Structure formats: C-alpha cells, structure tokens
C-alpha cells in the first residue's frame, strides 16, 4: 500500500524557518554563514510496486559565505524530505562538482554500470 502524502505545503516564510532550523541543528556555527537564495516549488517521486508516486515539495536553496550551495527540501505539513550542504559548482564545466551518492543513476555511472550523466550532474 502506498503512503498518503499531505499536499499542503507550508507558507514560504515558514519553509525558510524550517530549513534554517535544520541547518542550525546540523551545525549551528556553519548555519551562521548561510544566506537564502530562493525557494522553489518542485516535485519529488519514488517508485512503489512499479508505480511512480509523485508529491510536491518546497526547495529552499542557500549559499554559504564559503561559496558552497546548500538546500533543504520540505514536503507537506513541513516534513523534511532531504537536505544537502557543501555542494560545489564547477563553473568552467557548467556542472555540479560535488559527488552525488544519493542519486541512483550517478552511483551506477560511478560503478561503471550506467552511462555518464550529462551536465549539470556531477561527473561520476
């Protein structure tokens, strides 16, 4: 049985507060160097029993004063879906520089079991 997701996303102000709370809990000192860049409505999905389940999220992107990108993704009722920090960008190659261990297709490319991903994905 597929889980039921609440599609009611928090207001953007509340989403920003939730995201900063997450970053502060992970590393309070690091969080002091973060600046909000933008909040986007996006979708995430997973496959359950051969069926794709899609649900809405808010993606809160921040930049750290060390030049890295950071984000927290929030689902319905303020549920934390994912977060990432210290992501680096390769401006010369127009692609992500930081490895993508959370992304199945990148892992397959890294282990030689799948094709190299196109930019903006990181080289495997």
pLDDT tens by residue, 23-61: 999 999 999 999 999 999 999 988 889 999 999 999 999
Helix (H, G, I), strand (E, B) or coil at 112: coil
Query: Which pTM does this prediction carry?
Result: 0.84
Partners of 72 in the beta sheet? 60, 83
| Locus of tokens 């959370």 | 102
Q: Is the pLDDT of residue 99 over 60?
A: yes
- CA 36 vs CA 15, 31, 40: distances in Å: 11, 11, 12
Angle at 43 between CA 41 and CA 46, to 5 degrees: 160
Q: Is the pLDDT of residue 5 over 80?
A: no
């Amino acid at each position: 049985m597929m889980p039921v997701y609440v599609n009611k996303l928090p207001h953007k102000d509340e989403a920003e507060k939730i995201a900063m709370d997450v970053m502060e809990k992970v590393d309070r000192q690091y969080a002091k160097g973060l600046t909000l860049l933008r909040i986007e409505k996006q979708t995430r999905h997973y496959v359950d029993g051969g069926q794709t389940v899609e649900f809405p999220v808010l993606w809160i992107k921040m930049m750290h004063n060390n030049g890295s990108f950071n984000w927290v993704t929030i689902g319905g009722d303020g549920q934390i879906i994912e977060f990432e920090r210290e992501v680096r960008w390769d401006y010369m190659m127009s692609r992500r520089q930081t490895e993508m261990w959370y992304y199945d297709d990148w892992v397959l490319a890294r282990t030689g079991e799948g094709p190299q991903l196109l930019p903006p994905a990181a080289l495997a």
